[in-house]
Structure 1
């Protein structure tokens, strides 16, 4: 298959997925204003302004998200690597866990993670509840065991009461993870300039950002980065047109991607496509945090994923568009 044909196929796949998402989420995703006509049939959808969330579970989950008792030495919480005030990341190439151990991949943002079709770079967790359990027992992250975590939480009468009020089974690994999941459901970024543009407000984004969006579609970026989360809804090989890891010449386990989960050679160097929703604020980039700037990330993606060398101006315009995707951080109780 030629490069042009493959790119066309990728675009058709991406747009097809977007149409499915559009048909399901259009009503809830739009804010109807008299005299303003929302844009239809776009590959990207606005984040819904409101979500149904169990507020009691979310409140408890917020406390647990910031609770260092979940780690083996009571020093690390979920928020240590996913700082909500820093767009859900810690700004490091790889996060530091228990006893100063350094992780093997870049910590993705927790913001808008409810819209991902799977969790972690390699998709090894089906949902946020399963994801919340992983770091607790990871020896280089929080380095604990569930029996110890439960025992520590049960020593706190306020936790015992809170869990008993919500969960019939009280404090268990499942209920801890479920509460954290419900808190993370509240962490969305709403009403971004681009979402306002999609809802029909033409002046919500600049002319440069409009050019960037057009280029984003024309180059084919939208084949993988679309839907509500502008990504997070499919897997893709890193190096679709040019072998990325051949040039890097690394043999790190983290670079194997989804192969680590499936052991299927077809999944070698395949990763979950990251969301671009707050990408303007979450450097460094890629699964290994090896890319320092958004501009460099755009150039690498254009070359290895799409087969293009793009101009400086096109790069700046696409970067401006990505900046328009960031909205207001919605928190628990808001």
Structure 2
């Protein structure tokens, strides 16, 4: 255990605090962080309110797909924690399915990059990808979408309001910019954040044991930061071949297909653990449907650990404290023009 000067830690609640709780908080605080405020995350966005409303409308609008049936929310449903709870998602072209699990958009603004292979560095880049992807929303070229939006009087007004300094504000870049502004607000504070804010009563004894298991196993070496993930790229199966641990998991080659670097074989962006209780199924191909099995796979393949049933049960209890609250305003489906 690290040595902690208890006089330098002021609990948010003034009930009697156990030394073990302070020690646990101090160790957790080295690698893990509570969520920042929406205000701090969005401070650099001009005309945030106008961009938020425009971005929200675009996020829910099926006009962004070639068949007029798929929206961003189809695969990243905010009512189900930003996912569709499918292994892979159907696209706008009948019979075509994506080849990787759709990750949640919640807290994605805190990630170093987007997509399983990190090919988009920002939310804006990510927003552009699915719209033109032939397996996803399948718009054949940017101009088709822009022409659609220019035909809608409400969009003409909203783009002008969101981007007042531009003479031609309805552009593909601004579509992505507005969607990213909306997504930047999708933070989900949880009881874990209360604990990190020094409310040591926010977690019960089992949940604290689970956090201890998490830290003792060194899970934070990958799942770090405010999102508990999203900041690193790691090989799936660093110690033991994941497929021999559980042969249901597909042998997607990972980032190597993008970089052509042999060192990137089976390497993926580390997913966030926030809301992990709700964002099943798990892994890049959505092949595992329960937390217990996924923990066993990760412990064995990444850390060479055989966790006991009790350790896994406690760890699951801790992970459930990362389930937060989706902003109610974001989940209210807008009236589309």
TM-score range, shorter chain: 0.7 to 0.9
Paired residue for 2:155?
159
Structure 2 CA distance for partners of 1:328 and 1:310, relative to 1, 3 Å: same
Unaligned runs of 5+ in 2: 1-9, 43-47, 332-337
What is the CA-CA distance between 1:119 and the residue it aligns to? 0.2
Pair 1:302 & 2:302 matched: no
Number of residue-to-residue matches in the alignment: 302
What is the CA-CA distance between 1:194 and the residue it aligns to? 1.2
- Report the secondary structure of 2:296's partner residue: helix
What is the CA-CA distance between 1:199 and the residue it aligns to? 1.1
CA contact (8 A) 1:55 1:332 kept: no
What is the CA-CA distance between 1:248 and the residue it aligns to? 6.9
Deviation readout 1:97-137 (Å, 9 max, x if unpaired): 11332110100001000001000000010110000000001
Structure 2 CA distance for partners of 1:250 and 1:262, relative to 1, 3 Å: farther
Output the CA distance in 2 between the equivalents of 1:33 and 1:249: 46
1:280 to 274, 277, 289: 277
Paired residue for 1:49?
37
112-121 or 240-249: bigger deviation = 240-249
Paired residue for 2:233?
235
- Report the secondary structure of 1:186's partner residue: coil
CA contact (8 A) 2:88 2:98 kept: yes
What is the CA-CA distance between 1:42 and the residue it aligns to? 3.3
Pair 1:130 & 2:116 matched: no
Unaligned runs of 5+ in 1: 1-30
What is the CA-CA distance between 1:51 and the residue it aligns to? 2.1
CA contact (8 A) 1:212 1:319 kept: yes
Paired residue for 1:244?
242
CA contact (8 A) 1:187 1:331 kept: no
More helix by percentage: 1
CA contact (8 A) 1:44 1:226 kept: yes
1:320 to 310, 317, 324: 317
Q: Which runs of 4+ in 1 moved over 4 A?
A: 31-40, 245-252, 331-334
What is the CA-CA distance between 1:247 and the residue it aligns to? 6.8
98-107 or 74-83: bigger deviation = 98-107
CA contact (8 A) 1:58 1:332 kept: no
1:131-210 equivalence runs, <5 A: 131-144=126-139, 145-167=141-163, 168=166, 169-190=168-189, 192-210=190-208
Output the CA distance in 2 between the equivalents of 1:107 and 1:244: 20
RMSD: 2.3
